Amino acid sequence: MAPFLARWASLLAKPFGFWLGALALAGCHDAARPAADERRVFRYNQPEALSSLDPAFARNQANWWAVGQLYNGLVELDSTLQPVPSLARRYTISPDGKTYTFVLRPGVRFHASDVFAGGKGREVKAQDFVYSFKRILDAATASSGGWIFRGKVLEKPDGSISDTAFVAANDSTLRIHLKEPFIPFLGILTMPYAYVVPHEAVEKYGKDFREHPVGTGPFRFKLWDEGNVLLYERNPDYWRADRQGRKLPYLDAVAVSFLPDRKTEFLTFMQGKLDFLSGIRAGSRDLIMHPDGTIREDFKGKFTVQKAPYLNTEYLGIQLDSANLIGEQAIQGRALRDKRVRQALNYALNKPEMLTYLLNRVGHAGTSGFVPTALPSFSEKEVPGYTYQPQKSRQLLRAAGYGPQRQLKLRLSTVLERKEIGEYLQKQWADVGVQVQIDINQSAAQQDLVDNGRVAFFAKSWLGDYPDAENYLALFYSPNFSPAGPDKTHFKNAAYDKLYDEARRTQDVVKRTKLYQAMDRIVVEEVPVISLYYDEVVRLTQNNVRGLTPNPMNTLLLERVRKE
């Protein structure tokens, strides 16, 4: 470790107040503000690994949170999950839905950096977005985000992206041309993959841009000692101000720790050494909450607890394609291809009871379709799902040829963090005569088995990439077969595909919602998945934190956060 990094690592081992002064000495303030103190440094922990500070690789929440403080895109989501202007001050969409025109906000500059002449960040231009978008599509970049444009923007006859897909008409005007209307496109542009980066920094650092980020966001990079600490400082040149005209952000710095153990993370928060905690694991959840989800008296007032619907559906998937199932998995696959069996497995589950006993009612029971409660098309009335009916489950199993003389035996493939839920489901299925063995895999192995169709029955979750039901319903569109696409179950239904094609071109919101609901009803009827519950995000904050509110995407937005 370099001497400078070693010094910071040693500082973090000391009491927090000790190294606040060091933050100030390192430059975490501008001349117009006093040196940093605890009230202007926001501290959070990142238990999952952070792989990159390059938005081209922002494929998980850890990376989303980190890059979200450093960069901006053309548009962003407001509190109702609607796309609104960000670096674009306005935009228009052509009547045919295929041309998006963005007029950029003047005066926005990249962070001060030695990649620019004189070290001063230069102004963002439309050509920077053209560069950034083409970069994530470039095979040499190896970005995980190219899918946000592939199949959507103009393409050449060979399927590659057209030279006219992204056009800088002038320094302040950008046009994006789609090959056909795709209504959720603005939502996609709010994702970190679509953030703007300067070519100068990428060209200088190459693959090392991951640890030398230069963006336009409210904070700028200071230090990343991987696995130990990540430090950001306030961007004094940030383009946004509050309603009173005060420049944002309010904070002087952001300090991120990397404690992998959730219990240690919780204790650190309880000791006041973290300002924020997202998600509470079982043991800690029981300390804070009663089974009905209310806060225990001992913890009331000690910190702020916030809950909100989360764009995440926890589900069980059923592989409907036998191509890659072998041996015992192939035998199970044949049984599960009988729709009556899939329906019986669903009716056997008491999902509200599961939420109470295992999750302190954090979440909403999966008694509708696959689309979660946070999205407008969710409706238990329009998309009625499966309720707990064990007798009906037994009847369906008998109709499928299973009973005391011929017991149905299955294996559920899952990961350790879902083991407790798997064991609960196992007991419920045993009550209707189905024997299910729980197979625990490492996360990477589980992902590989599911993506390549080698397990017949598996536990998964789908966390929305952008806030539109299309992102969830894409999991059942047959051209999206995994491993290349998100259709993990290889569900194929001609009526469904027709509705999906119509919905993604339909501009009328009411009509599109009805199409989404019709698609979700097909998912309920055909049961390629069993929706267990629609998740909620639970956030704990210290009582002196202001301006940090939960949202269904569980994004971390710090530019308006302050500490009192």
Residue range 107-156, pLDDT digits in tens: 999 999 999 999 999 999 999 999 999 999 999 999 999 999 999 999 99
Q: In the structure, what pLDDT confidence band is assigned to residue 1 with cuts at 50, 70 and 90?
A: very low
Residue 14 predicted with pLDDT over 70 = no
Q: What is the pLDDT of residue 6?
A: 42
State the Cα–Cα distance between residues 147 and 143, nearest whole angstrom: 9
User: Worst-scoring range by mean pLDDT, 93-102, 271-280, 282-291?
Assistant: 282-291
Q: What share of the chain is helix, strand, coil (3-state, %, to 5)?
A: 35, 20, 45
Q: Delineate the domains of the chain, giving CATH numbers in brackets.
A: 71-216 (3.90.76.10), 310-536 (3.10.105.10)
User: What 8-state DSSP symbol labels residue 338?
Assistant: S
Q: DSSP 3-state assignment of 282?
A: helix
Q: What is the mean pLDDT of residues 334-357?
A: 97
> Going along 137-226, which residue ranges are E strands?
166-170, 173-177, 219-225
Q: pLDDT tens across 232-263, in order?
A: 999 999 999 999 999 999 999 999 999 998 88
Element (H, E) at 131: helix 126-137
Residue 15 predicted with pLDDT over 80 = no
Q: Which of 521, 563, 508 is nearest to 541 (CA)?
A: 563
Residue 99 predicted with pLDDT over 50 = yes
Residue 531 predicted with pLDDT over 90 = yes
Q: What is the pLDDT of residue 24?
A: 44
Residue 12 predicted with pLDDT over 80 = no
Q: What is the mean pLDDT of the chain?
A: 91
State the Cα–Cα distance between residues 104 and 85, nearest whole angstrom: 9
Q: In the structure, what pLDDT confidence band is assigned to residue 294 with cuts at 50, 70 and 90?
A: confident
Q: DSSP 3-state assignment of 459?
A: strand
Higher pLDDT, 12 or 68: 68
> Going along 74-145, which residue ranges are E strands?
75-77, 83-85, 88-93, 99-104
Q: What is the mean pLDDT of residues 41-55?
A: 95
Q: DSSP 3-state assignment of 315?
A: strand
Cβ–Cβ < 8 Å for 176, 99: yes
Element (H, E) at 407: none
Chain-centroid distance, C-alpha 483: 19
What sign for the dihedral angle of Cα 157, 159, 163, 169? Answer: positive
Q: What is the pLDDT of residue 280?
A: 78
Q: What is the pLDDT of residue 37?
A: 62
Q: What is the pLDDT of residue 5?
A: 37
Q: Could you tell me what percent of the chain has a pLDDT over 70? A: 93
User: Worst-scoring range by mean pLDDT, 43-47, 202-206, 300-304?
Assistant: 300-304
Nearby residues of 120 by Cβ (< 8 Å), 6 or more positions away: 109, 112
Q: Which of 380, 468, 462, 533 is nearest to 81 (CA)?
A: 468
User: Worst-scoring range by mean pLDDT, 283-287, 352-356, 420-424?
Assistant: 283-287
Residue 333 predicted with pLDDT over 80 = yes
Q: What is the mean pLDDT of residues 405-433?
A: 96
